[in-house]
Amino acid sequence: MTIRPIVRFPDERLRMPCHPVTMFDDALATLATDLVQTMRAAPGIGITAAHVGEPNRLVVIELDGPQSTRIYVNPVVEWASEEMSTHTEGSVSMPGVVEEVTRASKVRARYSDLTGAPKIEEADGLLAVCLQHEIDQLDGIFWIDRLSRLKRDRIVKKFRKLQKDQG
């Protein structure tokens, strides 16, 4: 188990679509374990392999502590409700800033587990938000891309100021 360095905004790797996982092996299981540890250390409630510079379609979400850890390999949103909801979002790659993002209230995701077994999960509430947010990341869509230009510019400016003040 290793806590890996997190790729920080505006690194171009955060905007690159990730490759489908084809090998369900020990290396994938190790990456998933590392992502769990890295996410907890950040801290965060979701992370993708892209956040640590690995361009693979792998997501970890943990909403209610260690017993709630979910791992999604090659996830895609199969269906999204027309009903929308707004939640506060942020990113482990852009710590210290958050903003309200509107997304589908409910989704159905198709994915594989770490053994390659196919799965389908329906989600609403925070889990639906996290799935959409992290799958966007796998597709090369950074969370601020879902904001208006004005809000996006404000968030980027605030993040740059935080980075300057910290370093």
Q: Catalytic residues, which ones?
A: 134
Task: Give the whole-angstrom CA distance, residue 126 versus residue 88.
Answer: 10
Non-local CB neighbours of 92 within 8 Å, separated by 6+ positions: 6, 38, 39, 42, 44, 47, 51
3-state SS of 78-133 is: EEECCCEEEEEECCCCCCCCCEEEEEECEEEEEEECCCCCEEEEEEEHHHHHHHHH
Q: Are the C-beta atoms of 49 and 35 separated by less than 8 Å?
A: yes
Q: Which residue has the tokens 């965060």?
A: 44
Q: Are the C-beta atoms of 98 and 90 separated by less than 8 Å?
A: yes
Task: Give the whole-angstrom CA distance, residue 20 versus residue 33.
Answer: 18
